[in-house]
A and B are shown apart, each in its own frame.
Chain A
């Protein structure tokens, strides 16, 4: 029993909890029922079993709600996500914005603006009910956005409230989120809230693998056929248009999976990059758990995957036709299966019908491999699926890619202590600077003694360690949740506050500002930009608010401007701003008081400011003591 538990926690989804699994048929019926009352923006059902409030969104059967009219600008209809609604959905260090399907985003915003959804969800949440969003077809895509929205709300309102995570269950929903969105969901550890059911041949979950322009014409007639109105007559779309639609989506799915395979397998041929310029590939990526319904070998089974790359492949693989099948039939089936969820899902929710296919070890290269117990259910399944060698290699590569990311993380983690040692070395250096009387920044900038040189070498060593991390993040070669790890955010902040002043000193010592422009604009290394964004993201601070480590760069630039004999009035606002921030940082303990050492660049510059300004300044109290001391000294 214990063993079973450990393996199920590995899966970590709704599917391994019997009680919550009971919610799935309910979600499915409610999703289908929502279609029948298209006038209401959502249906609600409160479940008593596990206490839950289920919200179901109806799908739209008008092509306008699927394809934005101005889709020409983004070939797959993606549009940038609203940072106000979804502040966490971005790549933190890379500062990359996320995109989701623009048409579904618009539908979601309509619901949230014009209905009682917001109020009802908050009320249900305050009653400690589990919140479940669900939907079939495009309704499921709206449900996904609603779930992300709710997760964001919960983060904003109160982090301490111990509430069950919300749940999102979709049936045959098209892809809605791009790669950055998926990365962000994984980072926030929200991926496990999503469960998507996909029939093996259903075309709708795959349709956005193809560029919108390639199926715009036939799409309305296809949606018309799919709309499940019980009483009206659904005309069959012309065979030619369903075949064209099927072929088009299949071809794009194939290109996508081949391209992804090249990336996962580490292809170094430069042709790959050139081809990407010419072949349009979808930005959308699957996330969460996908449960593919497969009934090829007689027994209906749910094949479950969590690895986004593997899901992408399965979306293609199960969609292919066998060589002997009739194209027209296959194309028609790909439409019909979109309407079979209610009938088919219920019958295979038994535990023994659910198989997880994820870790690369589990996928044997050959079908006649000697029988190892552990791999057996999967082997049987793969045999049922008749997964080709290409497919097996793809899934293994996807697994290896994840393994590699974990390995990279282990390697980075092993540098943690090295970085700590480097920091403590520089901390010692900082205290010797204070003893030497000129402050940390200026002592380093002058580089007079061998201690200064050693500190410079240490700075460079640390830079190497951090640059490596940044480089891996830039290429998404670390696990998605890396940037959310508290210990690294903390170390990054320590590093930034301690070492960035040295980088600035070095920059202005070599007057690199004259080659490449001000430090803040061109010279600031990524390692500091990244670590600053980490902190701001984790603490929920506004972007750019914690650049205390750049204090000296701001000072240097002001020095340059005032030395150019610019009138004080011109720089006054910047000076005031700097002084305010300085006060804030020094009182908050984020910046050392050595700033105020009498011969520091800052104090020397500040003393050149007009007397009137100085006496009224918010930081004059720090300076006062220094000035008094000077006066005292001259008195003696």
Chain B
């Protein structure tokens, strides 16, 4: 059932997956990349990759049938039976920290996936780590520095290329890393590499556009890991093993004709049945969260047929389309050739895209809309004919992904920002009115003027909602790609953080959340603030100039959380009897003191921090008294009672 509004919107909507596919097919990228892959596949004698300069770009191709190292091609295939090569292992296995930003980022994620570790298959990771420790690695780094780099690989070589790309992307997040200026990873018929957590992390980091997995319509390899490798019936495992052996032979010796495998029609049919059954299982699992195999696609998939290609970047749609394209036509007939036919496929796509199309059968019927017509073309390009069984289902899933990801008019976001800015202005106004006495942090925490404070609280919540929604859209690729390059947004987010986070902290301590959940900094901070921290530091070069007067807003938005922790330290120090623990407390008190003094000396705090009755001013007083007490303890003649304020607080 479709609503009327949808039809109206469809008028100016277009399906673009096949157009992007056509762009890819017509560009020299695929033919270039494939020729390097084929070359490195055929090169025997231990070379597992090659580097070629082509115009302005550097192509790095990884062999799809590596012969060297602990994992030769045959052990890779035999790993199927013994378990090992395709076993999912955590990406940080072996204690390395190469993918730190990717893995690290997942912790703050509060959705259900957070607990699951990021997995990749053991074989590819092992190959990558072996390569990483070899001398070739440094060579590669220096060859690709500040260049436009295409990483590519056929079959398992594509997994290696993907891990290399991930390594580069992760390292470019670090300062002074030498990394390529621009990067694209093109794989041909590569098996799945990682699990849902990896797929999500790549979406979150917005790296999906860097990966383009080229998949032929009936290639079993990219679909194989939807099957549970350990639970595969033994006769099928043997079948797969034989297939891989034969593929490796033809990769190494493209000049020879491939030895016939003598697979019977029944065997082929059974294998393709088995695979397609498990992909459809994965489609269902996307909703029910009970996956048989942990592996999930990430990045773009270019699903190719002789008619063209469709590029899809939504993982769910990718799974669905991997299934539907596979079951269309005679999969079992070409299951032997499909994995090694990429050269022909790439060539054929290019030829087809250059000559005039004739009017096709489905054009006889007037399509309902631009969008419908576009989807028909996309289906055709993916290899699903309009009369085929899967056509309806594929059409629905393409349309669904379209609606899940509406075209975003970034101007409308600017309007939304403009709408919430007055809320921010009200908080600013509130801050200014509190600055003289106790500062807006304490005013808000104590709720001295309930009506006014409630209004501020409402504004605080509205602003939080706005920014959460924005982050959500950003993560789901709904925003323009250069979004973060726009100073306006980075600045707005920073200003918001500096102004409003103190209120969040105040609310946290006012509600006594620290009693149940622990302190704000480790346990209560919203993810958006961490993201904004990252934007700001990525964007900013250090400004060395000294301030002439106090900043408009305290430059460390977590300042108040640190004050709260320091106040607790002082309170504890009054009653702490254990000397070892007391030393610890003093260490943190002193650390805070020098930190705060530094901020104040550099004038990086706003005036409200120094307001006479602010929490910080109270802390300074408390510290003075504590020091007096300490002095008194050292000189017993000098006695002092615990001051009134602290005693009262320790009771509450």
Residues of chain A whose beta carbon lies under 8 Å from any beta carbon of chain B: 250-251, 254-255, 258-259, 261-262, 264-275, 277-279, 317, 320-323, 364-370, 386, 388-390, 392-393, 396-397, 400, 403-404, 408, 447, 453, 456-457, 460-461, 463-465, 467-468, 471-472, 475, 477, 509-512, 514-517, 526, 560, 563
| A269-B300 contact given A321-B355, A393-B377, A403-B12, CB 8 Å threshold | yes
A368: nearest chain-B partner, CB-CB: B364
* Contact yes or no, A400 B357, CB < 8 A: no
Which residues does chain B contribute within 8 Å of A509, judged by CB atoms?
552
CB proximity of A361 to chain B, nearest CB, Å: 11
| A262-B16 contact given A270-B477, A277-B148, A393-B370, CB 8 Å threshold | yes
* Contact yes or no, B356 A388, CB < 8 A: yes
* Contact yes or no, A271 B209, CB < 8 A: yes
* Contact yes or no, A321 B370, CB < 8 A: no
Which of B16, B27, B488 is the one whose CB lies under 8 Å from A255? B27
Which residues does chain A contribute within 8 Å of B410, judged by CB atoms?
471, 475
| A320-B356 contact given A456-B425, A471-B414, CB 8 Å threshold | yes
Which residues does chain B contribute within 8 Å of A392, judged by CB atoms?
373
Give the CA-CA distance A268 to B209 in the complex, in Å. Answer: 10
* Contact yes or no, B419 A464, CB < 8 A: yes
B352: nearest chain-A partner, CB-CB: A323
* Contact yes or no, A366 B364, CB < 8 A: yes
* Contact yes or no, A270 B547, CB < 8 A: no
* Contact yes or no, B354 A262, CB < 8 A: no
Contact pattern, B 161-189, Cβ under 8 Å of A = 1, otherwise 0:
00000000000000000000011100000
Give the CA-CA distance A278 to B550 in the complex, in Å. Answer: 48
Q: In the complex, how many residues of chain B place their beta carbon closer than 8 angstroms to a beta carbon of chain A?
A: 82
* Contact yes or no, B425 A460, CB < 8 A: yes
Which residues does chain B contribute within 8 Å of A477, judged by CB atoms?
411
Give the CA-CA distance A475 to B486 in the complex, in Å. Answer: 13
A512: nearest chain-B partner, CB-CB: B552
Which residues does chain A contribute within 8 Å of B366, judged by CB atoms?
364-366, 368-370
B32: nearest chain-A partner, CB-CB: A278
B408 within 8 A of partner (CB): yes
Contact pattern, B 11-45, Cβ under 8 Å of A = 1, otherwise 0:
11111110110111011110000000000000000
B150 within 8 A of partner (CB): yes
A383: nearest chain-B partner, CB-CB: B359
A508: nearest chain-B partner, CB-CB: B552
Which residues does chain A contribute within 8 Å of B482, judged by CB atoms?
273
Which residues does chain A contribute within 8 Å of B27, judged by CB atoms?
255, 275, 278-279
Within 8 A of A (CB), among B340-386: 350, 353-360, 363-367, 370, 373-374, 376-377
A261: nearest chain-B partner, CB-CB: B19
Give the CA-CA distance A364 to B488 in the complex, in Å. Answer: 42
* Contact yes or no, A515 B543, CB < 8 A: yes
| A272-B20 contact given A365-B370, A389-B360, CB 8 Å threshold | yes
A514: nearest chain-B partner, CB-CB: B547
Tell me if B's interface is mostly helix, strand, loop or mixed.
Answer: mixed
Q: List, sorted by A's number, 25 A–B pairs whose CB atoms are closer than 8 Å.
A: A254-B354, A255-B23, A264-B14, A265-B15, A265-B374, A268-B405, A269-B209, A270-B208, A271-B311, A271-B313, A272-B209, A278-B57, A278-B150, A321-B356, A323-B356, A367-B359, A388-B357, A400-B12, A400-B370, A464-B421, A465-B418, A467-B417, A468-B418, A471-B411, A560-B548
CB proximity of A507 to chain B, nearest CB, Å: 10
Give the CA-CA distance A46 to B185 in the complex, in Å. Answer: 61
* Contact yes or no, A266 B16, CB < 8 A: yes
Residue of A258, A396, A397, A447 most packed against chain B (CB within 10 A): A258
B366: nearest chain-A partner, CB-CB: A366
Which residues does chain A contribute within 8 Å of B628, judged by CB atoms?
none
Give the CA-CA distance A477 to B410 in the complex, in Å. Answer: 11
B549 within 8 A of partner (CB): yes
CB proximity of B259 to chain A, nearest CB, Å: 36
* Contact yes or no, A393 B414, CB < 8 A: no
Give the CA-CA distance A317 to B355 in the complex, in Å. Answer: 9
CB proximity of B348 to chain A, nearest CB, Å: 13
Which residues does chain B contribute within 8 Å of A468, judged by CB atoms?
411, 414-415, 418
Which residues does chain A contribute within 8 Å of B481, judged by CB atoms?
270, 273
* Contact yes or no, B425 A457, CB < 8 A: yes
* Contact yes or no, B551 A515, CB < 8 A: yes
CB proximity of A96 to chain B, nearest CB, Å: 15
* Contact yes or no, A460 B418, CB < 8 A: yes
* Contact yes or no, B551 A511, CB < 8 A: yes
A360: nearest chain-B partner, CB-CB: B370
Within 8 A of A (CB), among B174-233: 182-184, 206, 208-210, 212
* Contact yes or no, B358 A386, CB < 8 A: yes
Give the CA-CA distance A385 to B419 in the complex, in Å. Answer: 50
* Contact yes or no, A275 B422, CB < 8 A: no
* Contact yes or no, A511 B547, CB < 8 A: yes
* Contact yes or no, A267 B408, CB < 8 A: no
A211: nearest chain-B partner, CB-CB: B55
